[in-house]
Amino acid sequence: MSQINDFDPNSVGVKGTLFGLPYTTENAQIVVIPIPWDVTVSYNAGAAQGPKAILEASTQIDYEVPGIPNAWKLGVAMAEIPEVWESLGRSLRVKSEIYIEWLEAGSDEALKDEMDERLAQINAECTQLMRYVEQETEYWRQQGKMTILLGGDHSTPLGHMLACAKEGEFGILQIDAHADLRKAYEGFDYSHASIMFNALQSSKINKLVQVGVRDYCEEEKNYIDASDKRVVTFFDQDIKEAQYKGKTWSEQCTEIIKELPDKVYISFDIDGLDPKLCPNTGTPVPGGLELDQVNYLIKEVVKSGRKIVGADLTEVSPGIDEWDANVGARALYRLTSLIGVSQNML
């Protein structure tokens, strides 16, 4: 406690801690669960290094948040990065790349048995990871902590979502370039492109509101259209065209928020942003949102009286410098602050 009382938010942060803050998982109110995993990524790998890169970049953050006095006092800490899963993920990534190359080359029938065996192993380990995440989430939440999942690719939050769903119904606000509604994309049961399809198998997740989607297939569009508004998508093109015609972002946020239930889980895939902010993410797509737009939307969700019950930040993939990680760290800091307000922690 003395370390917290003696902490100077205007000076140098604590080395090795999230945001350089003087908190541990024992005295923090929010625990960030890092999952270094990108086994099923279909384009560029690297998101497995996201948690470590964000942790290292986060000490450069200044703590003032407009409208949230003393935001740093909320108390946020990151759990240990699980080295066992990181190591397993690296080895499985090599196997998945061979499998994906086989698919893209036309699925040579002579190699089918070998590739089916490879796929079965990957699916089995991804299932175990999902269960690990679910158990880890339950552990921290049973300690009275709010949790945020930090990926890794966008497959990683499923166990986190399912653990949160055990506490009651909620809707997901998804910030993303992709709809992620494919069933077992490329044969991977827990593909990063299947996260929302998988999440919606839970009856406790009663709504999905997607914002910024601009890369999707016919199967996903049909899923949205047939969902009877359980899935509502604000496509990036529609957002931009409305702005060109004079509709403000504030007005559009009001429309988005009207679709959300009282309890909201935020799933923030960094590729929902303009790729100038995240050029090294696994599947970058032209277009997208500014970080300030996302922060404003989440702030308006909180101001509406809705309660944020959990969140994730995924697909931050560091390149040769810290740019992506710096953006990711700032997105995470603002997200934690707004969750703190939503949960009356500040």
Is residue 20 within 8 Å of residue 12, measured between CB atoms? yes
Q: What are the C-alpha distances in Å from 292 to residues 17, 108, 254, 276, 335?
A: 25, 47, 16, 14, 12
- pLDDT for 11: 87
pLDDT at 266: 98
What is the topology classification, in CATH, of domain 36-342? Answer: Arginase; Chain A (3.40.800)
**The pLDDT of residue 1:** 57
Question: For the whole model, what pTM was predicted?
Answer: 0.95
For the chain, how far is it from start to end, CA to CA, in angstroms? 17
pLDDT of 264-287, one tens digit each?
Answer: 999 999 999 999 999 999 999 999
- Positive or negative, the Cα torsion across 329, 195, 94, 219? negative
Coil/strand/helix, residue 145: coil
Taking the C-alpha atoms of residue 279 and residue 323, their distance in angstroms, rounded to an integer, is 9
Q: Where are the domains of the chain?
A: 36-342
Question: If we measure between CA atoms, which residue out of 268, 344, 255 comes closest to residue 301?
Answer: 255
Q: What is the pLDDT of residue 296?
A: 98
Residues 133, 156: contact at Cβ < 8 Å?
A: yes
Within 10 angstroms of residue 219's Cβ, the number of other Cβ atoms is 13
In this prediction, the residues of the chain whose per-residue pLDDT falls under 70 are 1-2
Torsion sign (Cα): 22, 28, 30, 32: positive
pLDDT of residue 285: 96
So what's the pLDDT on residue 123? 95
Question: How far is C-alpha 204 from the chain's CA centre?
Answer: 19
Radius of gyration of the chain (CA): 19
Three-state SS for 282-319 is: CCCCCCCECHHHHHHHHHHHHHCCCEEEEEEEECCCCC
Q: What is the pLDDT of residue 10?
A: 92
Residue type, 210: Q
Distance CA 256, CA 124 (A): 37
Q: What is the DSSP string of 241-277?
A: HHHHTT--HHHHHHHHHHTS-SEEEEEEEGGGB-TTS
**pLDDT reported for residue 2:** 55
